[in-house]
């Protein structure tokens, strides 16, 4: 299982008392799951992603752009189906923190994902259960995050992102290089969900197209491994069709912001 994050304190992304000099920061947390089709059963999660965006709880919106927006992210990608239970535990902890500490939690039809997670779980997942109940209710509860589902209420914002919000099937990667590419694609969709929710709630505005892949590359250029490097079994010894199928085809990416 591979973790990719640009956070110095990934377990306390909102700031916390246990951090040195930690102070609470108002944030929008977007959460997405990516899935692989089941060979002889239901789909299995391949990755869980969280993107954290600073917002104002009240007042005017931030004017943002893809080359200046500060993005915090954390994504976990499995490379073996046996790691699904560990992935569910990671997701459960992240959802617990987000519901308690974020100002807004965004997802794209996340309720359906959480129902799948519950069906796969071998032990009770309190964070998943709590978020699923909040997602189905979506009434503001004192001290808890506002829920935004980009699959319904935020679907007509007209956000120009160049990245689809709908998930596409992914295969379980075979090495860290392939896992980095899965993480890159998963994070791009997660950021698109977060930006759509931020626009819907009047926290962010931007001009023209917000180039989501460029923003992810700028935020994670030193964390996300480059696909197609030597030694990657998915990038060597396979024909073009197979590499396209697993979603690990090398492609040009932007370098770090200068």
User: What per-residue confidence (pLDDT) applies to 14?
Assistant: 55
pLDDT band of 116, cuts 50, 70, 90: very high
Rounded mean pLDDT of the chain?
A: 81
Report the CATH fold assignment for 2-246.
Answer: Nucleotidyltransferase; domain 5 (3.30.420)
Residue 227 has pLDDT above 70, yes or no: no
> Nearest to residue 172, comparing CAs of 83, 49, 105?
83
User: What per-residue confidence (pLDDT) applies to 26?
Assistant: 86
Residue 141 has pLDDT above 60, yes or no: yes
Residue 245 has pLDDT above 50, yes or no: no
pLDDT band of 246, cuts 50, 70, 90: very low
User: What per-residue confidence (pLDDT) applies to 196?
Assistant: 94
Alpha helices for 174-227 (secondary structure H): 176-200, 212-220
The whole-angstrom separation of Cα 156 and Cα 181 is: 29
User: What per-residue confidence (pLDDT) applies to 221?
Assistant: 87
| Across 66-88, average pLDDT | 93
Q: Which residues contact 1 (CB under 8 A, 6 or more apart)?
A: 76, 77, 78, 79, 80, 83, 86, 87
Domain boundaries, the chain: 2-246
Question: Which is more confident, 243 or 139?
Answer: 139
Residue 244 has pLDDT above 90, yes or no: no
Q: Which residues contact 99 (CB under 8 A, 6 or more apart)?
A: 105, 127, 130, 131, 134, 144, 145
| Across 194-214, average pLDDT | 93
pLDDT band of 39, cuts 50, 70, 90: confident
User: What per-residue confidence (pLDDT) applies to 195?
Assistant: 95
Least confident residue range of 5-9, 98-102, 227-231, 251-255: 251-255
User: What per-residue confidence (pLDDT) applies to 25?
Assistant: 74
Q: Are 190 and 33 in contact (CB under 8 A)?
A: no
User: What per-residue confidence (pLDDT) applies to 18?
Assistant: 44
Residue 248 has pLDDT above 80, yes or no: no
């Amino acid at each position: 299982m591979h973790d990719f994050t640009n956070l110095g304190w990934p377990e306390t992304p909102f700031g916390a008392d246990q951090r040195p000099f930690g102070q609470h920061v108002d944030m929008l947390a977007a959460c997405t799951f990516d899935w692989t089709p089941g060979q002889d059963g239901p789909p299995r999660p391949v990755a869980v992603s969280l993107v954290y965006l600073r917002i104002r709880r009240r007042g005017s919106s931030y004017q943002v752009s893809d080359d200046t927006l500060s993005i915090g992210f954390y994504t976990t990608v499995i490379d073996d189906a046996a790691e699904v239970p560990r992935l569910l535990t990671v997701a459960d902890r992240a959802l617990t923190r987000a519901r308690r500490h974020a100002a807004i939690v965004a997802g794209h039809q996340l309720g359906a994902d959480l129902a799948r997670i519950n069906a796969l779980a071998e032990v009770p997942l309190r964070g998943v259960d709590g978020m699923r109940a909040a997602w189905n209710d979506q009434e503001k509860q004192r001290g808890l995050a506002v829920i935004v589902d980009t699959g319904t209420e935020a679907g007509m914002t007209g956000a120009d992102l160049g990245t689809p919000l709908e998930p596409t099937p992914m295969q379980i990667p075979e090495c860290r290089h392939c896992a980095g590419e899965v993480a890159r694609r998963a994070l791009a969709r997660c950021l698109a969900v977060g930006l759509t929710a931020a626009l819907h709630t009047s926290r962010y505005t931007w001009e023209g197209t917000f180039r989501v892949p460029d923003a992810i590359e700028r935020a994670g250029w030193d964390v996300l491994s480059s696909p197609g490097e030597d030694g990657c079994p998915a990038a060597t010894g396979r024909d073009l069709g197979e590499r396209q199928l697993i979603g690990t085809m090398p492609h040009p990416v932007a370098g770090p912001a200068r």
